[in-house]
Amino acid sequence: MTRSSLPRSGTFSEPAKKHLGQHFLHDRGIISDIVHAVDPQPGDRLVEIGPGQGAITFPLLDRHGELTVIEFDRDLIFPLTEAARAHGTLEVIHRDVLTVDFSALAHNGGPIRLVGNLPYNLSSPILFHALDHAPAIRDMHFMLQKEVVDRMAAGPGSKVYGRLSVMLQAYCHVTPLFTVPPAAFRPPPKVDSAVVRMVPRDPASIGVVDPAVFAHVVRDAFGQRRKTLRNALSQLCDSPQIEAAGIRPDARAEQIEVADFVTLANQLAARSA
């Protein structure tokens, strides 16, 4: 594909690949809303996950002048690179995003800002991968399946409050921004999408002593939602230890605040130290 064959909008036409979970955004109003939410400023280090046909890429380049993108689909690399010449400086990393070291990207230039329309079949693994590098990330603006965003931001007592909610909220401020209808994509997905902002918390305010113990507690607590914590966490602790963290042993995981999970995990980490 030559530059002369590219549409004036800067995007290009490549068929979506179902096995990669591709749905290409085309609604200009939604694209404008995303760029406005990101609000790139001079000196920012923007990294886009899954640029696809460049719907968000090129408006970000027009605003900011330079951008790094991570794209797994080899067939998109050349047309994306060619189309970007008219908009700014584009660095393409041809890798599976789950193998990209975000901390290394931020090593010399300061924290990065992540942006992306995430493939729905990989959204949770990508979110947890980003958490592993949270100190190197200033903020994240992601488009995901709306029900995933609802789970990310849910509070105790909600039917969708779960492991994802607790793990993300322990390390980040999670703010849903707006809903995106299926018609905004080609091909349209069968569900609504939503854009969410995640801002990593100051490390000093997180309070998790041992991330591995914390993750184990949360995983077991929500492993069988109908069980009380006394039963769900029986392999990790007993009722007196749960009570010592200020939690009722007969409560269920969906009733427990994020901070209480942190307290319990820290007590268990101190016991095993």
Q: Residues within the annotated binding site for S-adenosyl-L-methionine?
A: 23, 25, 50, 71, 96, 117
Report the run of H or E that residue 74 belongs to, with start and end: helix 74-84
AA identity, residue 255: Q
Rounded Cα–Cα distance for residues 4 and 129 (Å) = 38
252: left (phi over 0), alpha (psi -120 to 50) or beta: beta
Rounded Cα–Cα distance for residues 249 and 117 (Å) = 40
DSSP state letter for 248: -
Binding residue ranges: 23, 25, 50, 71, 96, 117
Query: 91: helix, coil or strand?
Result: strand
Rounded Cα–Cα distance for residues 203 and 34 (Å) = 27
Are 72 and 7 a contacting pair, CB within 8 Å?
no
Dihedral sign, Cα of residue 59, residue 60, residue 66, residue 69: negative
Cα Dmax for the chain: 71
The length of the chain in residues reads 273
Q: Look-up: residue for tokens 């096995």? A: 19
